[in-house]
Amino acid sequence: MAENETTPETTTEMTTAGVLGQFADPEALVAAARGVREAGYTRWDCHSPFPVHGIDPAMGIRPTPLPWLVLGAGIVGAIVALLLQWWTNAVNYPHIISGKPLFSLPANIPVTFELIVLFSGITAFVGALALNNLPQWFHPLFSVARFRRVTSDGFFISIDSSDAKFDAAGTAELLSSLGATAVETCRESSAGARVPRVLVWGGAILVALAMLPPLVILIVRNTKSTSPRIHIISDMDFQPKFRAQNANPWFADGRAMRLPPEGTIADGQLRQDDNYWRGGLTRAEEAILDADRVLDEPPKHLVSRFPERVSLDDDSMRRGRERFNIFCATCHGRSGDGDGMTMLRAFKRDDGWAAPRSLADPTVRAMPVGKIFHTISHGVGTGPARTMPAYKWQIPVDDRWRIVLYVRALQRSQQATVVAGEPEADENENQPEENDTQP
């Protein structure tokens, strides 16, 4: 074996890492700290089992810059959040929602707040570690047996050998002169600083292995292959079936989706009673209206009496009022006068917005219940000429009838001709004779 071939096991080169001085009590520690600082050292530290009063000024420790870092990170977070929201919502993908501005501060506060907290939180955490030189796996002081007492009753000052003023003998002298009960040179083996070879190689192998999956994905994504891809667990991913909207050469029309045979009605969708389900419209008429087309002639069979399935009681009336106030009052107003919020605002714009008549208007009062039901269901007008939207998609049939009931009540409440005590006018007294199929 050659002379100069050294391994950590055979020779350990020791270097001086610093000097450690032990002090009898906290007072001595504070006094000595003042002395070390006055001697001009900068890379040194005090160690004590508990916080010692006055040690910070004695050591000349300045307040940490961490709060400023956190403040900066918070401001950056706010700017990033605002820029991100402004760019996505107002620049890159502007989308008007209910006429609201594309960018406004109040709407963007929650995300801004979150990013401020996120950025400053992470900065506080990472910054605190970094400013304390953490994580640090080992420190030469740990190899000094005496130093173990620092967690019970030992007070120490350590001066690092990297300090510009460090000089092993002189520094030890200084600590003794400052009242140290014991002074020890702290040595560090050059081997101790070395990471064990097993860890280095293990880590390298792990890193190499971790590169493999992304590498394989990258290669596979960038090469063309005609063979089906490997599917380890195929579950029910592959089935001999045609998907919706796909082509299927088997059928004459080439489509995979089949129309139900003529006259097919889904379970529970029979809806035979024209009067209840459609206010008297036929199925064919309803289909035309649903397609947003106009009927060739106005419907003739609109019912003039409430169908039997509609219960005309207090509960229905209350429900009708509730639904009316939700769906209709925005335009027609709570009393049906036509002064709902939407209308009040629309009139200010003065762009030809159609005003609804009062629901107590004689023409509306004269309408058979089926007509009002039909208006709620299909609205008024078609296409761009539409002045009132169709509500059949939002309001179930039963509720539409209850709204009609409440509209009747509104009309009656504004009709001054009813004489108390007299039998009330029939719902439909001013109706022309309708083709009423009710018994």
In the complex, which residues of this chain contact ligand HEC (CB under 6 A)?
Answer: 327-328, 330-332, 342, 354, 356, 359, 364, 372, 375-376, 380-381, 387-389, 391, 403, 407
Cβ at position 418, least distance to ligand HEC in Å: 20
CB of 355 to ligand HEC, least distance (A): 6
Using the minimum distance from each CB to ligand HEC, give the nearer residue, 21 or 356.
356
Min separation Cβ 426 and ligand HEC, Å: 19
**Side-chain half-sphere exposure of 185, counting CA atoms within 13 A:** 15
**Cα–Cα distance measured from residue 32 to residue 28, given in angstroms and rounded to the nearest whole number:** 6
Rank residues 188 and 286 by Cβ distance to ligand HEC and give the closer one: 286
Nearer to ligand HEC, 75 or 312 (CB): 312
Query: For residues 241, 247, 250 and 253, what is the CA-based torsion angle, rounded to 10 degrees?
Result: 140
Q: Output 47 or 321, the one with its CB closest to ligand HEC.
A: 321
- Which structure tokens are listed for 375? 């208006």
- We find the least distance from the C-beta atom of residue 401 to ligand HEC, in angstroms, to be 11
Q: Whole-angstrom Cα distance, residue 374 to residue 386?
A: 15
Q: Cis omega (within 30 of 0) on the bond before 63?
A: no
Task: Give me the least distance between CB of 313 and ligand HEC, in Å please.
Answer: 19
Q: Least CB distance from residue 385 to ligand HEC, whole Å?
A: 8
Residue 367 CB, nearest distance to ligand HEC (Å)?
6
Buried b (16+ CB within 10 A) or exposed e, 22-44: bbeebebbbebbbbbbebebeeb
- Residue 416's alpha-carbon distances to 316, 412, 419, 420, in angstroms, are 24, 8, 8, 10
Question: Contact at 8 Å (CB) between 46 and 217?
Answer: no
Q: What angle do CA 396, 401, 404 make, to 5 degrees?
A: 125
- Least Å distance between CB 300 and ligand HEC? 16
Question: Residue 280 in contact with residue 370, Cβ under 8 Å?
Answer: yes
The Cα–Cα gap between 30 and 28 comes to: 6
Using CA atoms, how far apart are residues 85 and 105, in angstroms rounded to an integer?
A: 10
Q: Residue 51: count other Cβ atoms within 10 Å of its Cβ.
A: 8
Dist CA 260 CA 348 (whole Å)? 50
Residue 176 structure tokens: 């003794």
Residue whose C-alpha is closest to residue 372's, from 302, 311, 324: 302
| Residue position matching structure tokens 């173990």 | 148
Which C-beta is closer to ligand HEC: that of 189 or that of 342? 342
Least distance in angstroms from the C-beta of 388 to ligand HEC? 3
Pick from 155, 146, 136: which is nearest to 185 by CA? 146
Minimum CB–partner distance for residue 333 and ligand HEC (Å): 10
Q: Are 309 and 273 in contact (CB under 8 A)?
A: yes
The nearest distance, CB 267 to ligand HEC, in angstroms, is: 29
User: Position 95: which residue type?
Assistant: H
Q: How far apart are CA 304 and CA 370, in angstroms?
A: 6
CA–CA separation, 74 and 68 (whole Å): 10
- CB contact set of 146 (below 8 Å; sequence gap of 6+): 20, 22, 154, 182, 184
Q: What's the CA gap between 254 and 248, in Å, rounded?
A: 5
Q: How far is the CB of 415 from ligand HEC (least distance, A)?
A: 16
